[in-house]
Amino acid sequence: MTIQVQNLNVWYNRKQALHDVDLTIAPESVTALIGPSGCGKSTFLRALNRMHDEAPGARVQGKVLIDGVDIYARAIKALYVRRHIGMVFQQPNSLPHYSIWENVAIGARINGTARGRALQDIVERSLRGAALWEEVKDRLNTSPAQLSGGQQQRLCIARALALEPGILLMDEPCSALDPASTLQIEELILKLKQHLTVVIVTHNMQQAGRIADTTAFFLQGRLVEVEETTRLFAHPQRKETEDYVAGRFS
Amino acid sequence: MSAAAHPFLPPRSAHMLRRRASNLLILALAVAAALFAVAILIYLLLYVIVRGLPFLNVSFFTELPAAFGSSGGGMGEAVQGTLILVGLASIMGIPLGLCTGIYLSEFGRGSFAGAVRFTVMVLTGIPTIIFGLFAWVLIVIPSHGFSGLSGGVALGIIMIPIVASTSEEVLRLVPKEIREASLALGATEARTILSVVLPAALNGIITGIVLAMARIAGETAPLLMTAFGSTFWNADITQPMDALPLRIFVFTNSPYPIQISQAYAGSLVLIALIFIASFAVRWATGGFRRRR
């Protein structure tokens, strides 16, 4: 799925969090959003699947075209948008009162997209797709509370994959994890980008360097620079980008 | 250099000794207060058990009250009545209370929600006899008679704010992250509440409901002018109905030791019901981890 953001402005109550953002995200690639805290990268990510609507006093102006359709058009309902876009959060938020199997199945259950045999297949496929199947296939009926942080995060990825989305949004998915789990998830992302558009917010520039095809640098609610990753880090065009990449502020 | 003590060793100065002494004193006072409270509770329980247990037998549950002064008989109709009244009250109190709690927790922004919250808070503090009066005016007077229904309604209204406030509290504790997970999957708010938030809070909600039921099971005042009580078997809610607290009240006022002893037995049954309910909740919610 292609994402085209045109002239996006986003507010929380009176405070404007994003100013005039224009960005086109190529399909089947990984795009990293980097920038200091409070620069608006998470807000931007949430605007892509209308999760920002849930924030108090949320207001959005501009267009977000996904496969040509403006998701903020009047006729479009947020929940149909979210069904086709997966989201993974910073803290793994597996549902504790459901089993591992039920956690992965819940998206399909809620949306009525599959049941019975088809649902079993989807759950297995998603767990394999998230590189978690081998580790949990013997305990699908147990609570996810037993899993490690990295495993829980992969469970959340499997849960998102179960809806067979075209886009996967990840909001600092590795920041709560240890380096080993982080590496596992980065390898997973590189695999997933073969058939998904991945947009990942990260505060870790090395991570962006490792996995992202394109990197976008945000500062104070504006998109400062977007470029192919190696070029952005090696030859930043703007001074602010250069300062951030060099670690002069964070 | 003087032989100064190592800074980590406990000092011997008067100031430090005073501090340790006052620390111990406060600790002792707190423990004593807790022990005192527990001691009163234990004394009460033991007293009721000692006075009531000898008179607790099968006929207590199967027979009607004997004439004052004679032995034998029981409070069967009162036990039955209490069960029916609590059941009736729950039919009303649980759905209304739970939905109010859900509203306040999930949709509770704005001045209307504030007013509801305030009302719930006030209602939990109102003396329960007033709810009895309310049901009396609403049902007893127009229907020209006391009835189990009016008693159930009075108890049900008492239940609503209790269930609402405990449900709201427990629902609020469900982490935002879990709700977000559900919304990001394309669930509506209603579906999120039903499939994700409520199950996560279920243990606490059940505990709150059972405690509310135990509480109203012991209410006497609101039943005085609604269910009124009787000494006959009655499962008809359109007729006066007996309840344990009512029968205990009447028996305690009698001058005959036998009836007073039976009142103790009745009190023991009430306390036992509450204990059983509490343990049942713990047992049921402790195992309530995963389905399937």
Give the whole-angstrom CA distance, residue B136 versus residue B143.
10
Mutate to test the interface with B, among A110, A157, A170 (most CBs of B within 10 A): A110
The whole-angstrom distance between B91's CA and the closest CA on chain A is 27
DSSP string, B106-130: HS--SHHHHHHHHHHHHHHHS-HHH
pLDDT band at B4 (very low <50, low <70, confident <90, very high): low
Q: What's the pLDDT score for residue A230?
A: 92
Residue B2: pLDDT over 80: no
- The number of distinct structural domains making up chain B is 2
- Which CATH number is A1-84+166-250 given? 3.40.50.300
Q: What's at A228, amino acid-wise? A: E
Q: What are phi and psi of A34, to 5 degrees?
A: -120, 165
- Top mean-pLDDT range of B152-161, B206-215, B222-231: B152-161
Instruction: Using 70 as the pLDDT threshold, list the residues of chain A that sit under it.
Output: 250
Would you tell me how many other CB atoms lie within 10 Å of the CB of residue B197?
A: 20
Residue B45: pLDDT over 60: yes
B36 in the same domain as B86: no
Range of the domain at B49: 21-55
- Which residues are bridge partners to A64 per DSSP? A5
Domain with B201 in it: what CATH number?
A: 1.10.3720.10
B40 in the same domain as B104: no
Give the whole-angstrom CA distance, residue A3 versus residue A23.
8
Q: Is B110 left (phi over 0), alpha (psi -120 to 50) or beta?
A: left
Q: What's the pLDDT score for residue B287?
A: 52
Flag whether residue A87 sits within 8 Å of chain B, measured between CB atoms: yes
Q: What's the pLDDT score for residue B288?
A: 46
Q: Could you tell me if B223 and B246 are in contact, meaning their C-beta atoms sit under 8 angstroms apart? A: yes
B252 in the same domain as B158: yes
Q: Could you tell me if A82 and A165 are in contact, meaning their C-beta atoms sit under 8 angstroms apart? A: no
pLDDT: which is higher, B185 or B69: B185
Residue at which a domain ends, from B55, B76, B101:
B55
Residue B7 lies in a domain: no
What's the mean pLDDT when you consider all of chain B? 89
Flag whether residue A103 sits within 8 Å of chain B, measured between CB atoms: no
Only one residue has tokens 């406030």, namely B165
Query: β-strand A214-219 against A30-34: which pairing, if any?
Result: parallel
pTM, rounded to two decimals: 0.81
The predicted-structure confidence for A97-125, as pLDDT tens digits, reads as follows 899 999 999 988 888 888 889 899 999 99
Span B124-138, mean pLDDT? 94
Least confident of A173-182, A208-217, B4-13, B152-161: B4-13
The whole-angstrom distance between A97's CA and the closest CA on chain B is 6
Q: What's the pLDDT score for residue B146?
A: 93
Nearest Cα residue to A147 out of A187, A181, A110, A119:
A181
Q: Could you tell me if A234 and A246 are in contact, meaning their C-beta atoms sit under 8 angstroms apart? A: no
Radius of gyration over every alpha carbon of chain A, rounded to an integer in angstroms: 18
Residue B12: pLDDT over 80: no
Q: What's the pLDDT score for residue B6?
A: 79
B42 in the same domain as B76: no
B131 in the same domain as B48: no
Q: Do A95 and B200 touch (CB under 8 A)?
A: yes
Only one residue has tokens 């006030």, namely B122
- Which residues are bridge partners to A199 per DSSP? A31, A169
Q: What are phi and psi of B185, to 5 degrees?
A: -85, 0
Q: What's the pLDDT score for residue B1?
A: 47
Listed by start position, the domains of chain A span: 1-84+166-250, 93-164
pLDDT: which is higher, B154 or B108: B154
Q: Give the DSSP letter of residue A144.
A: G
Q: Do B186 and A80 touch (CB under 8 A)?
A: yes
Which residue of B lies nearest to A110 if distances are taken between CA atoms? B187
Flag whether residue B202 sits within 8 Å of chain A, measured between CB atoms: yes
Residue B3 lies in a domain: no
Q: Do A83 and B195 touch (CB under 8 A)?
A: no
B136 in the same domain as B268: yes
Residue B2 lies in a domain: no
Only one residue has tokens 């990295």, namely A150
- Which residue in the set B182, B186, B199 is minimally distant from A83, CB to CB? B186
Window 106-165 of A, Cβ < 8 Å to B: 106-107, 109-111, 141-143, 156, 159-160, 163
Flag whether residue B289 sits within 8 Å of chain A, measured between CB atoms: yes
DSSP string, A175-237: TTS-HHHHHHHHHHHHHHTTTSEEEEE-S-HHHHHHH-SEEEEEETTEEEEEEEHHHHHHS-S
pLDDT band at B291 (very low <50, low <70, confident <90, very high): very low
Which residue of B lies nearest to A98 if distances are taken between CA atoms? B290
Which residue of B lies nearest to A107 if distances are taken between CA atoms? B185
Residue B289: pLDDT over 70: no
Packing angle between helix B76-106 and helix B257-286, nearest 10 degrees? 40
Contacts of residue B87, defined as CB under 8 A and 6 or more positions apart, other chains included, come to: B152
Residue B241 lies in a domain: yes
